[in-house]
Amino acid sequence: MAQIFSTRADARLRLVLIVGAALILLIGAAAFAYVRSGNAWAIGRPAEQPVPFSHAVHAGGLGLDCRFCHAGVERTAEAGMPSAETCLGCHERVWNVTAQFAPLRAAIAQGTAVEWSSVSRLPDHARFDHAAHTQAGVGCETCHGKVEEMPRTVKAESLSMSFCLDCHRDPLANQQPAGAVFARDAPPAAELQAMRPHGLQAQRYEHYGIEVSPLTRCSTCHQ
Amino acid sequence: MSARLPPRHGPDPAPEPPQPAALRIGLHNPAERRDALKLMGASLALAALAGCDDPDEFGHPLHAPARASDAEASAADYATVLELDGLSRGVIVRTRNGHPIKVEGNPQHPASLGATDIFAEAAVLSLHDPNRSRRIRRDGRPVPAAMLDEALAMTRAELQARGGRGLRILTGPVSSPTLARMLGAVLAAFPEARWHQHDPLADDAALEGALRAFGKPVVLVPDLGLARTVLCLGADPLGHMPGHLRHARDWAAARAGGRAPRLIAAEAAPSLTGARADRRIPLGPAEAESFARAVATMLGVEGLAAGGSHPAAADVAASLREAGTEGLVMAGTGQDAATHALAHAINARLGSMARRLLPHPLARPEPMGASLAALAAEMAAGEVTHLLILGANPAYDAPAALGFGAALRRVPFSLHLGYRQDETARLCPWHVPLPHPLESWGDSRAFDGTPAIRQPATALPSEARGEVEVLSALLGRPVAAREAVEETWRVEWGEDDFSERWPAALEAGVAGEAPDALDLPLSAGWDRPTAPLQGGLAAIFSPDPGVRGGAEAHEAWLQEMPRPLTKIVWGNAALMAPATAAGLGLSSGDEVELSLGGRSILAPVWPMPGHAPGCVTLPLGGGRRAGGPVGEGRGFDAYALRPADGTWVAQGLSLRATGRKLEVVTTDSHHRLDPGDAIRTVAPGGSLPQPERDASLYRDWPYPGHAWGMAIDIDACIGCNACALACQAENNVPVVGPLAVSQGREMHWLRVDRYHHGPEDNPEASFQPVPCMHCEQAPCEPVCPVNATLHDHEGLNVMVYPRCIGTRTCSNNCPYKVRRFNWSDHRRFLDTPARNPDVSLRPRGVMEKCTYCIHRITTARSTASTEGRALRDGEVETACQRACPTRAITFGDLNDPESAISRARRDGRHYAMLGHLGTRPRTTYLARIATDAEDAP
């Protein structure tokens, strides 16, 4: 009766096992690297927009203030998008390229909304309040990056939970002085403003000997 | 035709609503078993995928408004009105991205005072109903709108030639001044045309009683804040009566102010008023008039044509005599005209100050049963050539004895204007979609005649037309609803005042004052006794507390909301006294054949503690045959037995047990707690012993900022379910359907428990809303293996949905049974524009529960922080608290000793449910105050 296993069967088995284990590790490592990479969080990927809008031209070149278009950023949870009227207010006079502004004109004619595509969307169970953050001295750039240099708007940070927590654990590192929240290229703040007296930061407490900041409690951001 | 519930062990286990799409796999067939295995494999793979975030978050639309002014409008609150039986109550509609997401009460409107009822809350759901009618149809097929205009123009030409002969218009009850004006214009243009009204829930006897007593169609509007003794003869001021939110508020405010009116309810079927009455007298329809006569005789009412007797009458009369001008008698639906007239006469004798006689709020008060019967007779006789049915559904809710459907087929041109393709739409060649009240302009009057403008909170679907638009097209002068409403009020106020008053009326949600009360003397010969009822059982028709007359049957929220006293969901049952049922050898769920006037239906029996003997209550609104899958076939259709004149009581009901069982789905046994632990009662003016704070093995949590707490006054709770439905609407709580409810899988975060105390033939009832207790030492927290439920810095017990792995240990360990588990994925049904975007949707397999409306807390905190100030007491209002008509719910910060919640906690009636467990609940209760019929323990 012939040998069922050749003399090299053992070596082959070992090879297969080693290669298999290595593959599994590699796949795991690749997956881990991927979910932590900017690609998985869509960093740097532009979204299809109804009108080819360039922040580099408007905010960078012309120097428009963020609040000119995102008017609610200091008052409401959502920063707000400019109305079609706001866009056409200038573009009736300058750079009046009819074809590009068709969606805006249609919106005004029909009274419907212009649907821009969000690039910095948080998941459903997380709540973000623009007003609370700008009032607390968090600058736009902290989360949105150098928007004024973007010809097509892209996501600059992962906006993952760990990104949020990095700041919530040490908020002072990212706070700007009152006047610099909307400034471009604000120099690293030399004098940091004290936390507002009613802010959550004022309510640090201790439980089982651990100091806890309400800023890192689940219910502060999640709903 | 009657509809019936399927048998319990039949091939189709239970009727299923459109949601949820419960995965039903039969495991008896081997082929299906293989499918089940495949599905299990697939669901494992899907579960792994579901752990990742949804990819579609990227590029999610960000709405930018067309105009800067739209930006505010797209997330604005609108003051408007919603109607119930033609009478309005003011609401504030919260919108987001141009979609209404929540209805709340309008504090400035006299019929709301800031509260809502379940029907107002459900308006958001019906607005977004995928089964609503959207297209103009001819013989069931969609046609262009131009064809309708052409048909109306031809109709107009044809009718003009003969002065409108053969034209009939049928509407629901009309209180709208604009619609009344348009109808007047049509009747003027077509002198031979007639206008009829139909409302299956109209109380024709009340109108007839007022006519007998005063010769004028007046309505009695009680003031429960002024009254000292109130006798309700079948009247339900806290539940069904127009203005119920106002009456409940007045009653609760008087109780809280130490001026509690003594409420005596004499009624057949227990109502919400009867449940909270200080004394309840079960009174069958055969005895009602005799009882009222006996009271009237003892009070010395003049002009009585006959006397009466009842053992309880002397005591009631003495109580009313003692109250004098602060005494009040009200008769309600189910009473005959003679009893209504007697109530007016007793009030006149007492010189009651606790009631106002006001001009009828409807534009043309008339007995609606007679109005519809006259129309049906003309239709059957072939005298009607053109019939416009505007917003009514007589093919379903007219008494079957009237034969309306058959008569309708004889009308050559009939047009149905309705929100759904309902039973009537199926019989009319033309169907035109009616806009939802939240989409269209209009006006309306409240129970006391206060006018208000109805303004749209969202855009109108392109093909929908209002009543005004159809009528004006018929006149050949089409106007938009808004123009017509403006025109009415421009004439009413004068051109000069209009520009000022119109925006003010839209802003306030009220367009004027209630008319002045009338001072009318009793007419001579007011008393015309009714012949005593004889023979067999009495059938009492009543509006269902959940779906009323059936028009609301398509609201899944309402179908699944347990009816306050029976706790029945998704259907109805024939209610009778336990003694009557026992006498007939019946128990709950037994199928009986009910026959009356030659027609019969099949219905399940439900013994109802406190029901008067010798009569059977048949809730209306079941057994819908068209209009969408939610309402069709739920329960039995009691209209099949209703006499042709639409009366509320009919004698001669016969009952035969079929020997089968029908499944009645009820939540009565779900989440049951021991009544002694849950409900506490104190004597009037008494207080409960306040326990010392229990020691705990766990260390106390510090609450450096706020410490949220809720107190619920069960003495003020009337069990109306408004809180539970407000919670459902606010928190995107899914509907699970009758099958899942029967398995105990309902999802309501806030349930209202009902307890009966005392003898079965006439028990007292009390209600207890139970949300999450947010225990400081929560039993659910330590048992979670993944730390998905935890305690936050303000004392809330919070759920982390993405962490939850669904072991359900927390629910098992919760002594209050307030946690709800997602057995199915309801998200695709909930992710509509109607959802509240501030509350995330929960996937399958996770636990959820009351959050104390944490999103409202966070929003208020952000607002305060943005404005650089501390939160104010009362700034955070939970959805349940906002809806409550009696303001039984208080919410606030326990760290602030002057807050309303801290004051409530210092009340002598304060107690914690199951407080001896040491859970230190944040939700606590104020004990119920004993009525005069019982002694406090």
CATH of the domain at B819: 3.30.70.20
Mean pLDDT (chain B, rounded): 88
Note whether A214 contacts B699, CB cutoff 8 Å: no
For residues B334 and B619, the answer to whether their CB atoms sit within 8 Å is no
Note whether B58 contacts A127, CB cutoff 8 Å: no
Residue B74's pLDDT is 57
Q: Are residues B771 and B895 in the same domain?
A: yes
Note whether B793 contacts A83, CB cutoff 8 Å: no
Min Cα distance A61 → chain B (Å) is 23
Least confident of B241-255, B398-412, B860-874: B860-874
Pairing between strand B99-105 and B87-96?
antiparallel
For residues A199 and A134, the answer to whether their CB atoms sit within 8 Å is no
DSSP for residue A148: G
Chain A residue numbers touching B707 (CB-CB < 8 A): none
Note whether B802 contacts A124, CB cutoff 8 Å: no
Nearest to B195, CA basis, from B169, B160, B163: B169
- Is the predicted pLDDT of residue A90 greater than 90, yes or no? no
Min Cα distance B501 → chain A (Å) is 27
Q: Is residue B192 situated within a structural domain?
A: yes
Chain B residue numbers touching A85 (CB-CB < 8 A): 66-68
Q: Are residues B885 and B757 in the same domain?
A: yes
Q: How far apart are CA A194 and CA B258, in angstroms?
A: 50
Greatest distance between any 2 Cα atoms in chain B: 90
Chain A residue numbers touching B60 (CB-CB < 8 A): 117-118, 121
Q: Is residue B131 situated within a structural domain?
A: no
Kindly report the pTM of this predicted structure. 0.88
Closest chain A CA to residue B57? A121
Q: For residue A204, name the pLDDT band (cuts at 50, 70, 90).
A: low
Name which residue leads in pLDDT, B47 or B857.
B857
Closest chain A CA to residue B788? A218
> How many CA atoms within 13 Å lie on the side-chain side of B927?
26
> How much of chain B, in percent, has pLDDT values that exceed 70?
91
* Chain position carrying tokens 């960093």: A43
Mean pLDDT (chain A, rounded): 82
DSSP for residue B648: S
**pLDDT tens-place string over residues B556-607:** 999 999 999 999 999 999 999 999 999 999 999 999 999 998 999 999 999 9
Nearest to B617, CA basis, from B581, B574, B580: B574
For residues B383 and B410, the answer to whether their CB atoms sit within 8 Å is no
**pLDDT tens-place string over residues B878-894:** 999 999 999 999 999 99
Return the SS3 of B807: coil
Chain B residue numbers touching A202 (CB-CB < 8 A): 705
Give the residue from A219, A220, A221, A222 with the most B CB atoms within 10 Å of its CB, the best one to mutate.
Answer: A219
Residue B515's pLDDT is 92
Q: For residue B205, name the pLDDT band (cuts at 50, 70, 90).
A: very high
Which pair of tokens denotes residue B494? 């004068």
**pLDDT tens-place string over residues B341-355:** 999 999 999 999 999
First to last CA, chain B: 51
Q: For residue B307, name the pLDDT band (cuts at 50, 70, 90).
A: confident
Note whether B58 contacts A45, CB cutoff 8 Å: yes
CB atoms under 10 Å from CB of A179, counted, come to 10
Q: Are residues B726 and B766 in the same domain?
A: yes
- Is the predicted pLDDT of residue B387 greater than 50, yes or no? yes
Q: Are residues B247 and B263 in the same domain?
A: yes
Q: How far apart are CA B419 and CA B595, in angstroms?
A: 33
Q: Is residue B824 situated within a structural domain?
A: yes
b/e per residue B497-536 (b: at least 16 CB within 10 A):
ebeebbeebbeebbbbebeeeeeeebeeebbebeeebeee
Q: How far apart are CA B923 and CA B772, in angstroms?
A: 7
Chain A residue numbers touching B58 (CB-CB < 8 A): 42, 45, 47, 118-119, 121
Q: Is residue B712 situated within a structural domain?
A: yes
CB-based contact, A80 to chain B, within 8 Å: yes
Q: Are residues B583 and B639 in the same domain?
A: yes
Q: How far apart are CA B264 and CA B273, in angstroms?
A: 9
Q: Are residues B354 and B372 in the same domain?
A: no
Residue A13's pLDDT is 94
Q: How far apart are CA B259 and CA B250, in angstroms?
A: 11
Helix spans in B367-464 (H): 368-380, 394-397, 404-409, 423-427
Q: Are residues B371 and B501 in the same domain?
A: yes
CATH code, domain with B317: 3.40.228.10
> How much of chain B, in percent, has pLDDT values that exceed 90?
71
Q: How far apart are CA B625 and CA B385, in angstroms?
A: 26
**pLDDT tens-place string over residues B210-237:** 999 999 999 999 999 999 999 999 999 9
Residue B68's pLDDT is 64
Note whether B62 contacts A115, CB cutoff 8 Å: yes
CB-based contact, A113 to chain B, within 8 Å: yes
Strands (E), B406-513: 413-418, 430-433, 442-445, 451-454
* Chain position carrying tokens 């700008």: A134
Note whether B866 contacts A131, CB cutoff 8 Å: yes
Note whether A116 contacts B60, CB cutoff 8 Å: no
Nearest to B834, CA basis, from B758, B733, B904: B733
DSSP for residue A138: B
- Is the predicted pLDDT of residue B49 greater than 70, yes or no? no
For residues B31 and B22, the answer to whether their CB atoms sit within 8 Å is no
Return the SS3 of A41: coil
Strands (E), B579-689: 590-596, 599-607, 615-619, 649-661, 681-682
Which of B325, B359, B393 is where one domain is finished? B359
Note whether A206 contacts B841, CB cutoff 8 Å: no
Closest chain B CA to residue A116? B62
Nearest to B308, CA basis, from B669, B440, B913, B299: B299
Chain A residue numbers touching B851 (CB-CB < 8 A): 223
- Is the predicted pLDDT of residue B936 greater than 50, yes or no? no
Give the residue-averaged pLDDT of B354-378. 94
Note whether B862 contacts A110, CB cutoff 8 Å: no
Closest chain A CA to residue B97? A113
Nearest to B795, CA basis, from B695, B860, B878, B709: B709
Residue B17's pLDDT is 38
- Quote the number of domains for chain B: 4
For residues A81 and B93, the answer to whether their CB atoms sit within 8 Å is no
Residue B859's alpha-carbon distances to A206, B883, B892, in angstroms, are: 25, 19, 15
Chain A residue numbers touching B67 (CB-CB < 8 A): 83-85, 108, 111
Min Cα distance A116 → chain B (Å) is 5
Helix spans in B381-494 (H): 394-397, 404-409, 423-427, 467-474, 481-493
Closest chain B CA to residue A79? B62
CB-based contact, A107 to chain B, within 8 Å: yes
Q: For residue B540, name the pLDDT band (cuts at 50, 70, 90).
A: very high
Which of B308, B333, B359 is where one domain is finished? B359
Interface size A-B, in CB pairs within 8 Å, comes to 148
Residue A207's pLDDT is 67
Min Cα distance A156 → chain B (Å) is 13
Put residue B111 in one of left, alpha, beta given phi > 0 → left and psi -120 to 50 → alpha.
alpha
Q: For residue B609, name the pLDDT band (cuts at 50, 70, 90).
A: very high
Return the SS3 of A43: strand
Name which residue leads in pLDDT, B879 or B16.
B879
Residue A155's alpha-carbon distances to A42, A168, B75, B810, in angstroms, are: 7, 20, 26, 39
Which pair of tokens denotes residue A42? 């869509």
Q: How far apart are CA B17 and CA B8, in angstroms?
A: 17
* Chain position carrying tokens 């212009």: A114
CB-based contact, A105 to chain B, within 8 Å: no
CB atoms under 10 Å from CB of B160, counted, come to 12
Q: Are residues B318 and B391 in the same domain?
A: no
DSSP for residue A125: T
Give the residue from A51, A198, A204, A220 with the most B CB atoms within 10 Å of its CB, the best one to mutate.
Answer: A198
CB-closest option in B59, B862, B868 to A77 = B862
**pLDDT tens-place string over residues B443-485:** 999 999 999 999 998 888 778 999 999 999 999 999 999 999 9
Q: Are residues B339 and B394 in the same domain?
A: no
CB-closest option in B66, B67, B702 to A207 = B702
Query: Which residues, 6+ apart, have CB-to-CB distance to A101 below 8 Å?
Result: A51, A87, A88, A91
Residue B897's alpha-carbon distances to B139, B182, B707, in angstroms, are: 67, 57, 11
Q: Is residue B542 situated within a structural domain?
A: yes
For residues B855 and B839, the answer to whether their CB atoms sit within 8 Å is yes
CB-closest option in A47, A113, A125 to B801 = A125
Least confident of B8-12, B297-301, B739-743: B8-12
Note whether B63 contacts A110, CB cutoff 8 Å: no
Residue B364's pLDDT is 94
CATH code, domain with B392: 3.40.50.740
Q: Are residues B577 and B628 in the same domain?
A: yes
For residues B451 and B512, the answer to whether their CB atoms sit within 8 Å is yes
Which pair of tokens denotes residue B286? 């055969």
Give the residue from A39, A114, A218, A221 with the most B CB atoms within 10 Å of its CB, the best one to mutate.
Answer: A218
Full domain range(s) for residue B308: 204-359
**pLDDT tens-place string over residues B484-521:** 999 999 999 998 899 999 999 999 999 999 999 999 99
Q: How far apart are CA B159 and CA A93, in angstroms?
A: 57
Phi–psi pair at B214, nearest 5 degrees: -125, -5
Note whether B798 contacts A219, CB cutoff 8 Å: yes
Is the C-alpha dihedral spanning B759, B761, B767, B773 positive or negative?
positive
Q: Are residues B293 and B413 in the same domain?
A: no
CB-closest option in A74, A113, A208 to B63 = A113
Residue A38's pLDDT is 81
For residues B249 and B886, the answer to whether their CB atoms sit within 8 Å is yes
Q: Is residue B588 situated within a structural domain?
A: yes
State whether ipTM is beyond 0.85: no
Across-strand partners of B291? none
Note whether B705 contacts A77, CB cutoff 8 Å: no
Q: For residue B1, name the pLDDT band (cuts at 50, 70, 90).
A: very low
What counts of helices (H) and strands (E) characterise chain A? 9, 3
Residue B6's pLDDT is 33
Return the SS3 of B491: helix
Note whether A199 contacts B865, CB cutoff 8 Å: yes
Q: Are residues B550 and B478 in the same domain?
A: no
Note whether B62 contacts A203, CB cutoff 8 Å: no
Q: For residue B53, name the pLDDT band (cuts at 50, 70, 90).
A: very low
Which of B359, B386, B412 is where one domain is finished? B359
Chain B residue numbers touching A223 (CB-CB < 8 A): 838-840, 851, 854-855, 858
Burial of B860 (C-beta count, 10 Å sphere; 0-12/13-18/19+):
middle
For residues B757 and B766, the answer to whether their CB atoms sit within 8 Å is yes
Q: Is residue B924 situated within a structural domain?
A: yes
Q: Is residue B54 situated within a structural domain?
A: no
CB-based contact, A53 to chain B, within 8 Å: no
Which pair of tokens denotes residue B119? 């029907």
Give the residue-averaged pLDDT of B902-917. 91
For residues A56 and A184, the answer to whether their CB atoms sit within 8 Å is no
Name which residue leads in pLDDT, B1 or A121.
A121
CATH code, domain with B564: 2.40.40.20
